[in-house]
Amino acid sequence: MFDALIIGGGPGGYVCAIKLAQYGKSVALVEKENLGGTCTNWGCIPTKALLTATHLLDEAREKSDKLGIKLSVEGFELSKVMSHAQKNIVMGRKGIEFLMKKNNVTVYKGTAEVVTKNRVRVKETGEEIECANLVLAHGSVPVVFPPFDSVEGIWTSNDVFVMKELPKSILIVGGGVIGVEFATFFSSLNVKVTVVELADHILPNEDSDVAEELKKAFARKGVEILEKSKVAGVEKIDGGYKAIVISNDGNEKVYNVERVLVAVGRRPNIPEDVRNLGVEINRGVKTDERMRTNIEGVYAIGDIRGQIMLAHVASHEGIVAANNIAGVDSHADYSAVPSIIFTNPEIASTGLRERDVDGGNHEVKVSKFPLSANGRARTMLENIGFAKVITDAKTGVVLGMSIVSASATELIMEGVIAVRNRLTAQQLEESIHPHPTLSETLLGAFEGAIGKPIHL
């Protein structure tokens, strides 16, 4: 009998397995496809590999002449761009396979079927595995709904990674993280992109001023953004699809496009055997802050919980579950979860957003510093973006941060540490920031938060 058995080898499952092994526990992991889960194989890694290529293409096109560099950009070779993504996928898988062996985690390849909380069957072989603790890390699947689920050839994000040819035009349904990242990718490759978002603005989980900055960048690339709108109907026609888009005020537009990509997010993958186990389900499998379900000895982590569906959150929850299985009391801390978006410019945020402020009941101060006033940004020819800091009006404690900038996904860590540890804007303002760097955009926002801006 294993001390713990984990179903799913994604960023939650494999991290949980390693952590348990480090505690000296005997661990088994069952994965039906490839180690790494959605993040390594169909999400984070391949998407960023594709976007790295198009970011470089954009830089060469838009900046080289202004910087005095004579380049002749002939274009791109899609097969090599896709090959770059595939190489990263394979390297990620092999890296995790190595870590499983290094930590003596027993890996079963196949579909796990939960028999009881202490027994799991591998469907393909019939082999049964006994365990003292069970960790559910089944992940998620792309959401497809009417009318898209009944139309042949509609793409989800998974289809992008196996495409052989670029479409000339694409309609992206959903302006959230997945949608805007793919809009960035396709528009950089000269595809005509239209994004349809039902909410008031794209990136509905971010503040409106963040969305507005990204829309400026999209406008430069000819991306059409349709907010407060929905696709009321879609049908396959010769050479592509006909989509009917209706706005909230009743205006109707018809779009003929070569491809339609549904990018409205993902839903928890909860198979029948998990449901039959009797775990409580509320959108996803419900747990407490220690990742425990309502059944003793059964834990759930990552996207199957249906809460914050991010790879780094899944890994955090995997460590929390492992700690508690090993007898180390631990709970998940979501106070400073970073949200990162690899558009161009990048977007990142953590903690409180302006839209979260409760009608003035929580007195806050909002300080923004424009990227255009940052010396390093000017040398990089970057002029779209800002850093925004939200602080407690009385104590000065940093409650949230949003960044729109080149390298925003790296810069946000200063905000994560600040929010997580309840640092004040003054403490951060007094910390020497290197010059000239993009991090000084944050310094400018901190200076504004304490009422003493220097460079504005």
Give just the sign of the alpha carbon dihedral 306, 311, 316, 317: positive
**Beta bridge mates, 246:** 230, 252
* Helices 177-188 + 208-220 axis angle, to 10: 20
236 vs 159, 164, 172, 233, 259, CA distance in Å?
17, 20, 15, 11, 10
SS3 at position 34: coil
The CA-CA-CA angle for residues 349, 350, 355, to 5°, reads 80
| Distance (Å, whole) CA 245 – CA 409 | 33
- Nearest by Cα to 257 from 225, 235, 228: 235
Q: Which of the following is catalytic: 55, 362, 433, 435? A: 435
- The DSSP call for residue 356 is G
**38 touches 21 (CB < 8 A):** no
Q: Distance (Å, rounded) from C-alpha 217 to C-alpha 405?
A: 11
Question: Is 435 designated active site?
Answer: yes
| Helix H or strand E encompassing 225 | strand 224-226
Within a 10 A sphere around the Cβ of 133, how many other Cβ atoms?
23
Indicate which residues carry an active-site annotation: 435
